Amino acid sequence: MNLNVQQAGGSLLVVSQFTLAADTERGMRPSFSGGAAPQQAEALYEYFVERCKQQGIDAPTGRFAADMQVSLINDGPVTFWLQFRWEMLRKPLHQPKGSERDAWDAMAHHQMVVDEEGNTVAVGRLYINADNEAAIRFMAVHPSVQDKGLGTLVAMALESVARQEGVKRVTCSAREDAVPFFAKLGFVNQGEITTPQTTPVRHFLMIKPVATLDDILHRGDWCGQLQQAWYEHIPLSEKMGVRIQQYTGQKFITTMPETGNQNPHHTLFAGSLFSLATLTGWGLIWLMLRERHLGGTIILADAHIRYSKPITGKPGATADLGSLSGDLDRLARGRKARVALEVELYGNETLGAVFEGVYLVLPAKPFGPLEEGGNEEE
C-alpha cells in the first residue's frame, strides 16, 4: 500500500504496508503483502489529504510514484524501521538496543510512513495470535510530524488488516499518555496492566471489537455485497470509513469513525454527515429492491438536512422503511420510480440532524449485476 502526499514544506510522505519473511533475522529485506490493493492506496491518499485540510496543512496536491516507493522500501535494510522504533520508544527510557523488537516481528503486519529521503517518520505493528485476536504494538510518530493525522492513518490501516484477516477484536497495551488517542479511535480502557512490563512506564489495556457483518440480523450476505459495492464504485465511502452496522428488514443503520470525520471545532464535519446520510438512504433503497427482486440505478435527485445541534461522539445514521414513500412497482413496468425518505443522524446515540432525500430509481439493465443497477434475476 503506497501513496505520496505533498505536504507543507514540500516533503513527500509514503505510506507502506509490508510483512516480513521468516528469514528476516538473517537480514532479508521486507516485501509487500499481497493484500495491498491500488484502490486502498487511493482511498488512503484521499483520506490523508482531507485530514491535512482539516488540520490547516497545505496539502492540495499529491501524486503516486509506485515504482520509486517499492524500490525505496525494498532496497533499504530492515534495520531502518527498527532503529526508528528504538529511538522513539526505547532510547528515551534508556532501554538497550534490541529491546525494540520481539519474536513476533517476523510474523506480524507492519505499517510505516517514510519521507522523500527514506527516513521513517511513523510506524505501527499488528500481530494476530492463535485465538484470532490482534494486538497493535510499537506505534510511534516522529515529533516533527505529530498532530498531522499520521498516527491515526497507521492505526486505521492496521485495523483494516485485522478486519481483512477476520479478527474479532484488537487490543493494545497503551502508554498512559496514549490512552486518549486510542480512546478516540474507539478503544475502551480496561484498566492499568499490573503484570511486569518491558519498560517502567504505566500501561493500560485497550480493547476494540472489530465489527463484522456476522451480527446483522437480516440478509448479512446482501449487506456484504452492498458494502463492497460502495467501496468499489463510491470510493468516498471507504475513505470515510462508512460501515454497515445493522439491517433488520425494517431499519438500516450505518456508522463511520469519529476520527477523520471531524471539523476544526471537534464536532462532526457536515460534509461527512451529509455523505453518510446519502449512502444510508441509498443503501436502504438498494436493499428494498433486492427484497422485491428488482434492480435499478439509484440517483439522489434532491436533499436537504436539518441540524438541531452540533453532532459529537460516535456517528450513526438510521433509515426506516416507515419514512419511505414512493412507488417501486413502476420499475417492474420499465418506468423510473421516485422515492423519498428520511435518515436520522446521531452522535453517541443522540439525535442531532434529520436528512430528507429524494432518489430516482431508473429501470434495471437487463441481466446486469444488481450491485451495478442491473437485474440479474430476469
Domain limits, the chain? 4-209, 213-375
Residue 172's pLDDT is 94
Residue 330's pLDDT is 87
Q: Quickly list H helices, 202-268.
A: 220-233, 235-240
243 vs 216: which has the higher pLDDT: 243
Do 279 and 263 form a contact (C-beta atoms < 8 A)? no
Mean pLDDT, rounded, for 328-340: 89
Residue 372's pLDDT is 54
- Ranking 59-63, 259-263, 275-279, 303-307 by mean pLDDT, the lowest is 59-63
DSSP state of 87: I
Task: Looking at the structure, give the CATH architecture of the domain made up of residues 213-375.
Answer: Roll (3.10)
Q: Residue 12 pLDDT more than 50?
A: no
Do 85 and 140 form a contact (C-beta atoms < 8 A)? yes
CA separation for the pair 64, 53 (Å, rounded): 19
Q: What's the pLDDT tens digit per position in 281-331?
A: 999 999 999 998 888 999 999 999 999 999 998 899 999 999 999 988 888
CA separation for the pair 235, 46 (Å, rounded): 9
Q: What's the pLDDT tens digit per position in 123-153?
A: 899 988 756 689 999 999 999 888 877 888 8
Angle between helix 220-233 and 270-291 (nearest 10): 130
What is the torsion angle, in degrees rounded to the nearest 10, for the CA atoms of residue 94, residue 98, residue 99 and residue 100?
Answer: 100
Q: With b meaning 16 or more CB within 10 Å and e meaning fewer, what string describes 97-128?
A: eeebbeeebbebbbbbbbbeeeebbbbbbbbb
Q: Residue 8 pLDDT more than 70?
A: no
Residue 235's pLDDT is 86
What do you get for the CA distance between the two ends of the chain, in Å? 39
3-state helix, strand, coil in the chain (%, to 5): 35, 30, 35
Nearest to 157 by CA among 180, 179, 185: 185
Mean pLDDT, rounded, for 80-99: 88
Q: What is the mean pLDDT of the chain?
A: 76
Q: What's the pLDDT tens digit per position in 19-70?
A: 433 323 323 233 333 333 333 444 444 544 554 455 454 433 332 222 223 2
DSSP state of 322: G
Mean pLDDT, rounded, for 222-250: 90
4 vs 77: which has the higher pLDDT: 77
309 vs 114: which has the higher pLDDT: 309
| Percent of the chain topping pLDDT 70 | 72
CA separation for the pair 334, 122 (Å, rounded): 55
Q: Residue 3 pLDDT more than 80?
A: no
Task: Looking at the structure, give the CATH architecture of the domain made up of residues 4-209.
Answer: 3-Layer(aba) Sandwich (3.40)
Residue 156's pLDDT is 81
Query: Of 69-73, 111-115, 149-153, 244-248, which has the strongest mean pLDDT?
Result: 244-248
Q: What's the pLDDT tens digit per position in 161-178?
A: 787 676 788 999 999 999
Residue 366's pLDDT is 62
Known catalytic residues are 17-19
Residue 260's pLDDT is 76
- For the chain, give the longest Cα–Cα distance: 75
Is this prediction's pTM over 0.75? Answer: no
Mean pLDDT, rounded, for 88-99: 90
